[in-house]
Structure 1
């Protein structure tokens, strides 16, 4: 590449330069393009950039990211938007939010803060418009994945103040975003993967019907998730179903998607009617289903046991990933039917999971469960084994013979039970993550009085697992953005098909 400035390099045909570029990493392509104008002209040849992954940061403090990224985004989309085959766009969480993460309560009466949030929303909308304008005439598009950690703007009431029915600058931008997204879907010809998760103001119940018939016939993965308000806690009244957002996907629309084999939805949108539609003949079997339970009232008409049986008969290879976020054990018990082929379960809530719910999981899904995460961010550490002959976590490890990942945080885990779990599952338990703060030691358990209890635990668990083990870092198990975690896990879960 050091010879690119020579006459020989300048005289090379563009086809050969593009062929050379095809063997280089993205970083090396950029380095080579700096040397001479001839090679720089070939840098943006469509065949070299079939995939594009973009991550945009959000800030309300005016530094480092946000509006400063817009010109870069415009340049990239101008170069690639009309022909790129796969585009993944992710908006990182808005920085500077004075909420629970920073230990500060937001001041709703601060005009400067309100202005900054408005600027953040306008920047977000401008960037979304930039992307969709470049994509609307792209007929090569096969994968479109959009994720925006912008729910906080919805919580702050920014969206309500710029409602699409209002005649304001913000509302006009939201209307344009929705129209552009529908145009992208209408003009597409070979979409196989469509994902839109927590994208403020982008997707509506009218979006998916705009999808062209050609793309509807080829679509294999669909992910539609929106941001909802948190569910009520124990002493609160559930919100009225009249105030809930309408579903982004309705069961009759599934008839247009005969090749769909992977689906990710809010659980309150996955109804009995939808389960019945997926069980019909003349369509590909559903292989992956990712469901987010939480952020709204419990589902009004969840699939029954008969619905799940019919779906599993039609789709024998179906596996389900369920994340229960800020919910209650009662909500979980309501939707966990015996025939639901649950493979991964993540319960992340301030409300403690009950021992009864844990018992149900270990009994019903002992043949399918591989991943189980139980996370609670609270100063209290409830003991699930309290007043029980057998610890429910040990029973889960004993019954669930395919368990390969176990994450525990915010609950009391007795050291001797942790040792038992490691011995029961052995080397097949690839991940055992428990912070030191959750581990309790029974003073009545016999052990060498001169040996440190934690050192003894680490030694015994390591022996049980057949590899070196140590307690996890407390901060590593807490999710700053659970919706982002669900989005990424659902992506990986579906990509395995």
Structure 2
């Protein structure tokens, strides 16, 4: 083996050093790449399979082509990948990955980068292979809208019979379902279940309505009797797919406690009005506002942020504004339920100092007349706040100190732009406006004494976020791919 593949094994030996924990590097420190018969090439199958567990899916496939011994290590113990990510376009690769990893896959993420015939082939040939596993805990569909970060892309329509049959097949273990930029298709003919023998067998107890109905947006209401035994706890979907009828159907799920709704990427003519009094008492809603225009925030406050909404999390990403009225409404209505606030933007790409200031148009009510920083108000009033993330906006260091002194319940605090001189943005502070981070701004280190002072009031070790270590989407001029990655990271966060 070593005479046939010496160069390939040597190259992969070097690559492994960048992926493996120190314990494996200690093992191989004195192994020469050209003497692989007593090193990596001679490892027993079980330890070698444990080594391959630390590689990504792409690197695991590369390892398969290295030599017969490495290929046997993966195939003999069957690839163990907790999270499997598939792209619809690559049908042959998907079939191979599914056959290799399906037995131990717990989280299945499907990127729908192509609709039409390629999506139909994926639904008919790849997805039914997971009927045999009965171990899926997370099922995520990501449509073109989220991949390209564009509202003009088409909505992907999923095969309802296959998708729902797969979900009910895993009803004893499935905990999370995400429908991002996609929706369930209409059942034209129930004979569609007979296109695959596994679907025919597993969907036999299910019923499907061929007439579109708001009751069937996520799951078919016809199967409400079986939903009582569903372990599904969290559902993620676009807000425009929600309705009071959909909420009533989801209320049939006895263990469902988390509902995540996304607003912004898909922009309907009008946001639907939902009667949240029909929801289960233990339901908590997470609201994600993504790349929304300024005018949408007024409709957001009128139709979405209402008193009956059981809001637990609010994330506003890439909207190019920090809307003080939204923060104040959140404080007034959700001080007992809010646990998380994320407001993230990339630095504003402008050299004009005029664009640094975001002027707030506020109503002259009791709170706004007090001229209180809305983030200070948030930390003071929201008694269960656990996570606070602010990127793209400058925060005065003593306001930051106020955050941790007022809210001892914080478990995670992530703020990247902190300034130490109150007079630096005096024009903005005096007029009670928000200060943007511009692309040409630089970060200055905070005093060690101040960082220590902040840590006196936190239950965790806090340090300022270095701009070099920020996600690429939070740096100047991010690409659509970087924004999509950050959005999906936050949306899929548990």
TM-score for the superposition, normalised by structure 1? 0.59
What residue number does 1:163 align with? Answer: none
Superposition deviation, residue 428 in structure 1: 3.2
What residue number does 1:463 align with? Answer: 453
Matches within 5 A, 1:473-488: 473=467, 476=471, 478=474, 480=480, 484-488=485-489
Q: In the alignment, is residue 362 of structure 1 matched against residue 368 of structure 2?
A: no
Where structure 1 has 5 or more consecutive residues not aligned to the other structure, the ranges are 11-16, 59-66, 93-119, 161-173, 219-244, 446-452
Which residue, 72, 76, 80 being the options, matches 2:97?
A: 76
Q: Distance in 1 between matches of 2:447 and 2:298?
A: 34
What residue number does 1:324 align with? Answer: 289
- What's the secondary structure of 1:54's corresponding residue? strand
Where structure 2 has 5 or more consecutive residues not aligned to the other structure, the ranges are 1-27, 194-198, 207-213, 349-354, 363-367, 430-442
What residue number does 2:383 align with? Answer: 401
Q: Distance in 1 between matches of 2:82 and 2:319?
A: 39
Superposition deviation, residue 416 in structure 1: 3.8
Which residue, 299, 316, 341 being the options, matches 2:271?
A: 299
Superposition deviation, residue 323 in structure 1: 0.4
- What's the secondary structure of 2:336's corresponding residue? coil
What residue number does 2:236 align with? Answer: 264
Contact 1:381 1:412 in 2 (8 A): no
Per-residue CA deviations over 1:311-364 (Å, capped at 9, x if unaligned) read 21xx3xx33221022153323322223343322211235364543321121232
Per-residue CA deviations over 1:182-224 (Å, capped at 9, x if unaligned) read 4465477335437454467x852449x9688967999xxxxxx
**CA 1:204–1:423: 2 relative to 1, 3 Å:** same
Which residue, 137, 144, 158 being the options, matches 1:150?
A: 144
**CA 1:184–1:300: 2 relative to 1, 3 Å:** closer
Superposition deviation, residue 401 in structure 1: 2.7
Q: Distance in 1 between matches of 2:375 and 2:415?
A: 13
Q: Distance in 2 between matches of 1:127 and 1:437?
A: 50
Which residue, 284, 287, 309 being the options, matches 2:254?
A: 284
Superposition deviation, residue 371 in structure 1: 1.6
Which residue, 394, 411, 430 being the options, matches 2:412?
A: 430
Superposition deviation, residue 271 in structure 1: 1.7
Contact 1:146 1:199 in 2 (8 A): no
Superposition deviation, residue 42 in structure 1: 6.1
Superposition deviation, residue 302 in structure 1: 1.5
Task: Using the TM superposition, name which of 42-51 and 389-398 deviates more.
Answer: 42-51
What residue number does 1:54 align with? Answer: 85
Superposition deviation, residue 372 in structure 1: 0.6
- What's the secondary structure of 1:374's corresponding residue? strand
Contact 1:394 1:417 in 2 (8 A): yes
Superposition deviation, residue 156 in structure 1: 9.2
Per-residue CA deviations over 1:409-462 (Å, capped at 9, x if unaligned) read 4456444433322332358352131425899646889xxxxxxx9667774355
Contact 2:78 2:100 in 1 (8 A): no
Contact 2:78 2:101 in 1 (8 A): no
TM-score for the superposition, normalised by structure 2? 0.59
Q: Distance in 2 between matches of 1:438 and 1:364?
A: 32
Contact 1:185 1:212 in 2 (8 A): no
Contact 2:395 2:419 in 1 (8 A): no
What residue number does 2:311 align with? Answer: 342
Q: Distance in 1 between matches of 2:337 and 2:314?
A: 11
Contact 2:339 2:384 in 1 (8 A): yes
Q: Distance in 2 between matches of 1:455 and 1:154?
A: 34
Aligned length: 386
Contact 1:342 1:365 in 2 (8 A): yes
What residue number does 2:358 align with? Answer: 382
Which residue, 162, 165, 170 being the options, matches 1:190?
A: 170
Contact 2:318 2:344 in 1 (8 A): yes
Q: Distance in 1 between matches of 2:151 and 2:259?
A: 31
**CA 1:40–1:251: 2 relative to 1, 3 Å:** closer
Superposition deviation, residue 80 in structure 1: 4.9
